[in-house]
Structure 1
Amino acid sequence: MSIRRLPSLNALRAFEAAARHGNFSRAAAELHVTHAAVSHQVRALEEEAGLALFHRTGRAVVLTDAGRSLLTVLSQAFDQIAEGWAQAKGEVGGPVTVSVEPSFAARWLVLRLGKFSRAHPDIDLRLIPSSAVTDFERQDVDIGIRYGRGGWSNVTSERLFEATVYPVCAPSLLQAAEAAGKPIRVAEDLRFQTLIHEETTAHWKAWLDAAGVRNARWASRGPLFVEASLALQAAAAGQGVALGNDPLAMADLSEGRLVRLFELETPDDEAYWLVYPERSARKAKVQAFRAWIREEAGLLPAEIAGIKTTTRARAAKPTPSA
């Protein structure tokens, strides 16, 4: 049996932490050592390799090509060691860290977490609500749920839901419009109502165009919210008419806080996606979460759908179960 010729594992750990954080001080804090100790270990590793792993410019450190290659290998190796160690200790579950678009988290995911807990009592979910794109190499995140067009680099992207939109409002607003002699019967009647916007008026313009309403300059008026959940909350409070989609508006519609005004819905070129790096796909706890959320989204199991690390799932309508 050949003898493995490995450099110091402490030096490898120091390098991997520094490369992942892009900073020696944060690596030192993670490893509970000094900045000088991390720097010394990395220098020793570079001397043994006979090449530079970082470009050093002042306080900043940037990986060289060799450093990037080594980081990829080490990150996968340390992930496998951590997973194997947890399994050896009988810790087959442990937390799954999910970075999730805030509106989706509040209005769809948290309503179903009880199901996941009952199915996987040994796995805890750690949710990080964020609209930012996750850097899986530097952030402690296993898997993410994003709203966008897909195609993010260095991750697998599986489409969960199409995002088709339609007007919704509170039942009280419908009653008030009727009482005021301005009932909402056709799309043109929306000119008498406050339209609630989420980030951009583009969705309202697309829906009104599809409804045959032209030159609706009045459609740009109304409050603007950064997140869709806030726009829907304002609509449920009777403050105007918002555009909703099935994943976000479903609970309010089923419980009567919102009503759908028209059958017409328009497609959006953005959708909800499950995203994860290849290393996460190997973790049993991530596989469990991925399988569960695909089932909740009404999708076929990944194995039957033929999902691999570089392919995307076909869109599906969400199921109404809570």
Structure 2
Amino acid sequence: MRRPRRRPPVLNTISLSAVRAFEAAARHGSFRAAAAELNLSPSAVSHAVMNLEQALGIVLFERSGRVVRLSPDGERLIKHVGAAFEELRIGIETVTNRGPQLLRLHSAPSFAAQCLTPRLAAFLAAHPDVVVRLAASTDYPHLAADEFDADIVYGPVRGEGVVAVPLGEEVVTPLCAPSLAPSITSAESLLGLVLIQSDRKQVRWPDWFAANGLPAPPGGSGMRFDRSFLAIAAAADGLGVALESTRLAERELASGRLVAPLAGIAQDVRYVGHSLVYPKRGAGRRTLRVFAQWLLAELGEPPLPG
């Protein structure tokens, strides 16, 4: 009979719970936040980390009051520990994939309302083993805290240790209800109309007018909303002309509630507005890859490599 391989002496003195406490504290940058995640007291997390440091004979965190920061040795260790816990998660998911698989998504609100939610029924029908939990807000979630598997971000991507997959080019053009379209025959004809502004939009009316060689009208001459889906709804109700992405307004354009009166006449603005973002260490999750490949296909974008 083959004898079991003996572990190196240092591993015999390390508990998995201590390593888990270290991983959570490193991810959050806080013993208190790690304690809340693990349902422990902050002192219990601190003692677990100190026991790990004693067993390894190194300092893992630089402490200054309640602020903790990984030491150089801690930085090196967390790369392996984080990967190990992710591999463990994937392994458990692999052997238990006969049951429902949870996919935790966060999204920019307008993309969630206009693009994602209308398509979810098709995704769930194609993947009945996946359960989707979707949150939508303008808050930027910390993916390192493991609250979400992925985020659909509008605008610049922040954070380290993440993969950002651009979701393709969007066309931004004036949109209005069909009843207003006959009065809009050129860029200049917009100057006398109610212009609907999305305050959080990266491309705004001054940008569009500049692209068409015209000065923008005074800022107070239109209506303002803080979400694109509200601006789109207002335009569809005939309240004015919205400068919006044809991707976000695809349902309204397809149904005829909105039209693009200057398509092919004026200069549109094109840009990459949204990205699918997820932690590098979570790139191997089956549910995440299934969702990412499906979303890219839905938007007509190239698939993920591999």
1:205 and 2:206 equivalent?
Answer: yes
Structure 1 partner of 2:7: 4
CA-CA distance at 1:96 after TM superposition: 1.2
Quick one: which amino acid aligns to residue 193 of structure 2?
Answer: Q
Which has the larger displacement, 237-246 or 84-93? 84-93
1:13 and 2:17 equivalent?
Answer: no
Quick one: which amino acid aligns to residue 211 of structure 1?
Answer: N
Structure 1 partner of 2:190: 190
Quick one: which amino acid aligns to residue 191 of structure 2?
Answer: R
- SS of equivalent residue, structure 1 residue 124: strand
Structure 2 partner of 1:58: 65
CA-CA distance at 1:103 after TM superposition: 0.8
- Quote the sequence identity (%): 38
Change (3 A) 1:279 1:134: same
Alignment of 1:29-48 (within 5 A): 29-48=36-55
Q: Is the 8 A contact 2:166 2:272 kept in 1?
A: no
Quick one: which amino acid aligns to residue 100 of structure 1?
Answer: S
Which has the larger displacement, 227-236 or 39-48? 227-236
- SS of equivalent residue, structure 2 residue 147: coil
1:250 and 2:257 equivalent?
Answer: no
1:215 and 2:215 equivalent?
Answer: yes
Change (3 A) 1:69 1:265: farther
Give CA-to-partner distance per residue, 1:29-62, whole Å, 9 cap, x none.
3222322221211110111122221222222222
Structure 1 partner of 2:148: 141
1:117 and 2:119 equivalent?
Answer: no
Give CA-to-partner distance per residue, 1:273-302, whole Å, 9 cap, x none.
222222222111111111111110112333
CA-CA distance at 1:220 after TM superposition: 6.0
Quick one: which amino acid aligns to residue 96 of structure 1?
Answer: L
1:86 and 2:86 equivalent?
Answer: no
2-side partners of 1:153 and 1:20: how far apart? 11
1:288 and 2:290 equivalent?
Answer: yes
Change (3 A) 1:228 1:90: closer
CA-CA distance at 1:160 after TM superposition: 1.6
Q: Is the 8 A contact 2:206 2:215 kept in 1?
A: no
* One of 167, 171, 183 as aligned partner of 1:164: 171
Alignment of 1:122-133 (within 5 A): 122-133=129-140
Quick one: which amino acid aligns to residue 165 of structure 2?
Answer: E
Change (3 A) 1:293 1:19: same
2-side partners of 1:275 and 1:201: how far apart? 19
2-side partners of 1:251 and 1:129: how far apart? 19
Give CA-to-partner distance per residue, 1:214-236, whole Å, 9 cap, x none.
23434663223232222212222
Give CA-to-partner distance per residue, 1:89-120, whole Å, 9 cap, x none.
34465111122111111100000000110111
Give CA-to-partner distance per residue, 1:10-44, whole Å, 9 cap, x none.
10011112222222233223222322221211110
Change (3 A) 1:155 1:237: same
Quick one: which amino acid aligns to residue 298 of structure 2?
Answer: E
Quick one: which amino acid aligns to residue 12 of structure 1?
Answer: V
- SS of equivalent residue, structure 1 residue 196: strand
Structure 2 partner of 1:234: 234
Q: Is the 8 A contact 2:209 2:215 kept in 1?
A: no
Equivalent residue pairs, number: 296
Q: What 5-or-longer segments of structure 1 have no aligned partner?
A: 309-322
Structure 1 partner of 2:77: 70
Root-mean-square deviation (CA), in Å? 2.4
Q: Is the 8 A contact 1:151 1:157 kept in 2?
A: no
TM-score relative to the length of structure 2: 0.86
Q: Is the 8 A contact 2:184 2:262 kept in 1?
A: no
Q: What 5-or-longer segments of structure 2 have no aligned partner?
A: none
Quick one: which amino acid aligns to residue 272 of structure 1?
Answer: H
- SS of equivalent residue, structure 1 residue 275: strand
Change (3 A) 1:17 1:150: closer
Q: Is the 8 A contact 2:105 2:132 kept in 1?
A: yes
Quick one: which amino acid aligns to residue 288 of structure 1?
Answer: V
